Every structure is written in structure tokens, then in C-alpha cells.
Amino acid sequence: MTISGLYIHIPFCPQLCPYCAFASVAGRDDLHGAYTEAICREIDGWGGRLGPVGTVFFGGGTPSQIDPALIGRMLDTAGRRLGLAPDAEITVEVNPGTVDREKFADLENLGCNRISIGAQSLRDPDLQRLGRIHSAADVESAFAAARQAGFANISLDLIADMPGVPAENWRFSIERALNLAPEHLSVYSLTVEEGTIFAARRRQGRLREVSEDEQARTLEWTASRMCRAGYEHYEVSNYARPGYRSQHNWGYWTGSSYLGVGVGAHSYVAGERFWNTRDLDGYLAAVAAGHSPREGSERITAALARSERLWLGLRTADGVQLAGDEAARLRNSGRFAEWSAAGYAGLADNRLYLTGAGFLLADALGLELERILEDSAYAAA
Ligand code: SF4
């Protein structure tokens, strides 16, 4: 069975950031080799059943924390057991504090062709507030080193809406990021997740989250600035130069199948979503014993698949293709007429899409869209 993407989770980090809720560990660097072998074994188990894959994404955690030779070992296994498309997009996430020109050159020689730099900010005080190990200058050095090593497709991740950080700091970060001329930029609002140090600070009243109005203002300014700089706002949180959309993430947003391997990795194969344990030792023990590291699964019913298709599609610039009867119901809805009049959405050839203003309300509009389609389906029944 063809799958669009392979996600490989590398959980090792130089230290844990206080806002992080990912499956990540620090101080377990002695396990890099054993973990790589476990990943290869997991991929091996899918050989002959899935593939070939069009994209590979090494995410984390911090993939650049491990020796590139181990990345090469995993890629080689994926190529032999699943098969890689000749033009496969192969992305490696890197932390600017863990890379140099030699490491980038090694990754490039292995066939990796896209680098995603976890910059998060380009202001040192904000990076310190986030507990990052690197400076803004490290981000710029990492970017230059990746370019020198031959990477023509580089993405930067930035975190917007940091508590206590004024809007002008964010604008400064964006301008400094634009000076680097990345092909792609992801902008995520900081979410305070339970179980993190930031969540504990919030409980103690030491951290005040940014209001929804402030978030909307930041995202509006960012979208306008990025579009003026020639980037396409192709997903609510993502901007790309023409031809540089993230193919791997595009697969997630458009309902393609993908396999995730490693600690905490999620997969979507043959109408089933399943995920691995987040416990590193449990993962290693399960795979070594020849057992599945799977922790849970859910069958994606037709109703759930439809709901996800609407929600995720609405978050992309391409919008969502509606069935003829769905489009007719929407056209007859007074609420949709209001969205159109307010400039939030349009409907062309049964394709529903949000405008830049609509992107700011994507979640609320997705919820309403589902209600409109369901209510009118009941009324028609
Ligand atoms: S580097 Fe990334 S994955 Fe690792 S702890 Fe920090 S935020 Fe989490």
C-alpha cells in the first residue's frame, strides 16, 4: 500500500524546554545507537506491506542531537524496506545549538534535502524566556551553514504570542527572520500544555497567557507582512515561497496515509489511526522483544473522516472540495451568506475556501460549517 509520508521521531534533546509537551528526553544520549536499531526494526516490520514513500520527516525531540550516520542508517532502512520516491522530500528538524557546517554537509550527502530550523525567536531575551539553549546569532549561523552545505530548501519555526513579550519584539523577530530569506516559515502560537513547567507557572499566577484579541492582531500583522515579502499563506500557520510548501505536512492536512515510527509517533494507515507509547524505555523494550510499541488506536469512521477533511481543508489556501449536495446546502445557508459578506470565505466550483481574514477564525468557522451541513442534512431528511 502506498503511503505519502514516513515520520521518524527522535526524542533526544540537549535539555528540556519549559513549554515542551512533545515526546522528548534529555540526558539519555547513551541510547542513540539502541534507539536507531529499534527504529530500523520497526520500519523493517512494515517492509513489503507499505511503500513507497514520497516524504520522510525526522522530527522530535531534536534529530540534530544524534550523529548524522544514524540518520543515514534509518534512511537506508526506509529505502530498502519501504522504498523512497526518487524525488522524495527528506526533512530534518534541527536545533540551532546542535549543528555546524560539517553536520549539515553530512546530512546533505545522505540525501536529506530540506532543513527545518527550530529558531522560535530571533531575540535573545525571548529565547532565554523559552529556555532555549541557543542565541539568535546561533540561528543565523545555523542558517548560513545549512546554505553553505547546499540546502536550497530551509524552513524556520517561530513561536508567536509568548506571554509577557510585546508585539514589537515579535515584529523584530519576523524582520530578522525575513533577512535570512528562508523558503518556508512556520508560525505557531505558544500553547501552554498541562504537565509543562509553563503550566505550573500559570497555576502559580506567574504566567499570563496572551488574549485571543492580541493573538488575532499578531497573526493578522504577520500574514500581511509575510505576503508583502512574497510568501504564500498556504496554511493557517505556514508560509512558503512559491513551490516550497511542506509536502510532508501537506499530506497530513489533505488526509493522506502516513506511517510514524519511534516514541509517541502517530500513524494513519488503511483507515486506522494508531500511536506508539511515549515511554522511551517501554518503547525500546517492546521492540527488542519483538512486540509492537503501539499504545492505542482508533478506527476513522466515515463521519470522522469527513469532519477531519472539512476542518483540515479549511485551514489550507486550497480550501475543501465539497460534494454537490454539501455545496448546495451551504449556498442556501444564511450564515454562509454572512461569512461571504464579511469577506471570510468564498465558494467557487464547489470548493470552499477561507480568505486571510477567515484564517484568523478557521476553528470557529470549521465548527459552524459542520453544524450548517449537519442541520441542513437533517432538515432535508
Ligand atoms: S528542543 Fe524542542 S522537543 Fe526538545 S525540549 Fe525543547 S521544545 Fe521540546
The enclosing domain of 148 has a CATH number of 3.20.20.70
Within-domain flag for 287 = no
Whole-number Å distance between alpha carbons of 348 and 346: 7
For a mutational test of ligand 1's pocket, the pick from 9, 12, 13, i.e. the residue with the most ligand atoms closer than 8 A to its C-beta, is 13
* Confidence band for 192, pLDDT divided at 50, 70 and 90: confident
Residue nearest to atom 3 of ligand 1 (CA): 61
Within-domain flag for 290 = no
Within-domain flag for 95 = yes
Contact 244, 231 (CB under 8 A): no
Q: How far is the CA of 298 from the centre of ligand 1 (A)?
A: 27
Range of the domain at 89: 3-253
Within-domain flag for 22 = yes
Q: How far is the CA of 21 from the centre of ligand 1 (A)?
A: 8
Query: Comparing C-alpha atoms, which of 62, 151, 169 is closest to residue 111?
Result: 151
Q: Are both 142 and 85 inside the same structural domain?
A: yes
Q: Are both 180 and 315 inside the same structural domain?
A: no
Within-domain flag for 274 = no
Q: Are both 193 and 95 inside the same structural domain?
A: yes
Q: What does pTM read for this prediction?
A: 0.95
Residue nearest to atom 8 of ligand 1 (CA): 20
Residue nearest to atom 7 of ligand 1 (CA): 20
Q: Are both 306 and 237 inside the same structural domain?
A: no
Give me the number of domains the chain comprises: 2
Q: Are both 61 and 160 inside the same structural domain?
A: yes
Q: Are both 237 and 332 inside the same structural domain?
A: no
Q: How far is the CA of 24 from the centre of ligand 1 (A)?
A: 7
Over residues 155-161, mean pLDDT: 95
Q: Are both 244 and 319 inside the same structural domain?
A: no
Residue 379 has pLDDT above 60, yes or no: no
Within-domain flag for 368 = yes
Q: Are both 221 and 350 inside the same structural domain?
A: no
Q: Which among 213, 234, 253 is the end of a domain?
A: 253
* Confidence band for 208, pLDDT divided at 50, 70 and 90: confident
Question: To 5 degrees, how large is the angle CA 116–CA 118–CA 121?
Answer: 130
Q: Ligand 1 pocket: which residues have CB below 6 Å?
A: 13, 16-17, 20, 22, 24, 60-62, 95, 118
Residue 7 has pLDDT above 60, yes or no: yes
pLDDT of residue 279: 97
Q: Which among 253, 282, 314 is the end of a domain?
A: 253
Ligand 1 atom closest to Cα of residue 16:
5
Within-domain flag for 66 = yes
Residue 380 has pLDDT above 70, yes or no: no
Query: 264's torsion region: left (phi>0), alpha (psi -120 to 50) or beta?
Result: left
CA separation (Å) from 153 to 88, 146, 185, 242? 13, 9, 11, 12
* Confidence band for 210, pLDDT divided at 50, 70 and 90: confident
Q: Which among 185, 220, 253 is the end of a domain?
A: 253
Q: Are both 225 and 309 inside the same structural domain?
A: no
Q: How far is the CA of 142 from the centre of ligand 1 (A)?
A: 17
Burial of 15-48, coded b for 16+ CB within 10 Å and e otherwise, reads eebbbbebbbbeeeeebeeebbbbbbebbeebee
Within-domain flag for 291 = no
Over residues 21-38, mean pLDDT: 96
Q: Are both 248 and 313 inside the same structural domain?
A: no
Q: How far is the CA of 169 from the centre of ligand 1 (A)?
A: 22
Ligand 1 atom closest to Cα of residue 61:
3
**SS3 (DSSP) at 156:** strand
Q: What is the pLDDT of residues 267-279, one digit of tens each?
A: 999 999 999 999 9
Q: Are both 310 and 194 inside the same structural domain?
A: no
Q: What is the pLDDT of residues 51-108, one digit of tens each?
A: 899 999 999 999 999 999 999 999 999 999 999 999 999 999 999 999 999 999 999 9
As beta bridge partners, residue 295 has none
Question: To 5 degrees, how large is the angle CA 61–CA 66–CA 67?
Answer: 160
**Average pLDDT of the chain, as a whole number:** 94
**Grid coordinates of 42:** 520497526
Q: Are both 224 and 313 inside the same structural domain?
A: no
Q: How far is the CA of 62 from the centre of ligand 1 (A)?
A: 7
Contacts of 155 (CB under 8 A, 6+ apart): 91, 114, 115, 116, 117, 182, 183, 184, 185, 186, 246
